[in-house]
Every structure is written in C-alpha cells, then in structure tokens.
C-alpha cells in the first residue's frame, strides 16, 4: 500500500470554524491523479458529565444541519492554545453551569479521517455540581436535561439520541472501567 503524493493544495474557503482545501494528488503505483477535498477544523471536546447522584447532564438544542432538536452531551471547539482539559471544563460550565470535581480523558479519536483533519477529545466529568447559570454564546439556545443511565440507554435505543458523536461519547463511557453498569444495547 502506498501513500498518495500531494502535488498542490488550494485553499477554497475559510472561516472561523473550518478551512476547505482542494488537494491535488498523484498515486505512484496506480499512475492516477485525483483531487481530494479536506476540511481543516479545530480539535473538539465532548464531555460525558455525571452529577454526584449519578444523573447524566445532557443538552438539547436545535441543529441546522438536520433542522431538528438533538439531545447531546456538552461539547465545543478547543480554542487556540487551550489545553483540551480546560476546554472541557469551560464548555461544561458555559453550557450547563456545572463544574466537574474530576475530569478523566476517555479517548482521543479522529473525527472523520476521510475529510477532517481534527481530533475529538472525549472526557468523563464526574461529581458535577451546579455552581453557576449558563453562560451561552449569542448563537446558543440550550436546554439542560438530567437523565439516569437507564434513561440514557433507552434514549439511544429508541433514537431520541441520534447524533453519532454523542453515541460514541456515551459508548466510550459505558464501555470504560469507570462505568459500574452491566450495559447491553440490543
């Protein structure tokens, strides 16, 4: 197996969320030229947040990609030069008003290596306590929801939680050594 050789890179579009690039490539073994498109985006964090009394802190918001309300874990972009742990605490506090007593990295994954260059850091926030009101960005309108682990699993099963990144975050938690539940998804 051989890597594609990058011949030229063109920046097609840029904004504060992503850069769209056209990458002209050549495959040396197949003698094929092809343009690929990639999206450069900042790294993200995603936080599975659980209160002292074992309630999952979820957020409901309108997402324009599908034009529907989604139920998610708190998440957001890591700011330039911001450590992922700080971004996780910041986003949790801003979106929900909760602060974690303990923050653990569950996993760092590629968001979608076919087209994205960024990583997602999945955190577990334990012993969360409400210490403030939400401090939302001007474009955010977020409803906070608290759910038991049984409710969360049911919401995954019935499709109420249908965002693939959120299901990944919750699955990472349920499959982790930090979870003391016997979980089946069938």
Residues 50, 35 share a domain: no
Cβ-contact 53, 64 below 8 angstroms: no
Q: Report if residue 99 sits inside a domain.
A: yes
HSE-CB of 35 using CA atoms within 13 angstroms: 9
Sequential pLDDT tens for the chain (186 residues): 899 999 999 999 999 889 999 999 999 999 999 999 999 999 999 999 999 999 999 999 999 999 999 999 999 999 999 999 999 999 999 999 999 999 999 999 999 999 999 999 999 999 999 999 999 999 999 999 999 999 999 999 999 999 999 999 999 999 999 998 765 555
Residues 103, 51 share a domain: yes
CA distance 121 to 58: 17
Residue with tokens 């969320």: 17
Would you state the pLDDT for residue 29?
A: 94
**Model pTM?**
0.92
Q: Report if residue 179 sits inside a domain.
A: no
CA distance 74 to 57: 8
Q: What are phi and psi of 92, to 5 degrees?
A: -60, -45
Tokens of 97: 């008003």
């Amino acid at each position: 197996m051989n890597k594609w050789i990058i011949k030229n890179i063109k920046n097609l579009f840029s904004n504060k969320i992503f850069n769209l690039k056209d990458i002209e490539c050549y495959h040396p073994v197949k003698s094929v030229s092809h343009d690929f498109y990639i999206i450069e985006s900042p790294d993200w964090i995603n936080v599975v947040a659980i209160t002292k009394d074992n309630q999952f802190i979820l957020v409901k918001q309108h997402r324009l990609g599908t034009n529907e309300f989604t139920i998610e874990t708190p998440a957001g972009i890591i700011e330039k030069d911001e450590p992922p742990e700080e971004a996780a605490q910041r986003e949790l506090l801003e979106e929900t008003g909760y602060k974690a007593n303990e923050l653990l990295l569950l996993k760092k994954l590629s968001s979608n290596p076919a087209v994205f260059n960024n990583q997602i850091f999945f955190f577990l926030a334990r012993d969360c306590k409400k210490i403030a009101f939400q401090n939302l960005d001007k474009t955010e309108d977020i409803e906070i929801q608290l759910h038991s682990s049984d409710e969360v699993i049911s919401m995954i099963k019935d499709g109420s939680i249908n965002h693939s990144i959120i299901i990944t975050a919750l699955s990472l938690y349920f499959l982790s050594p930090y979870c003391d539940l016997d979980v089946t998804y069938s």
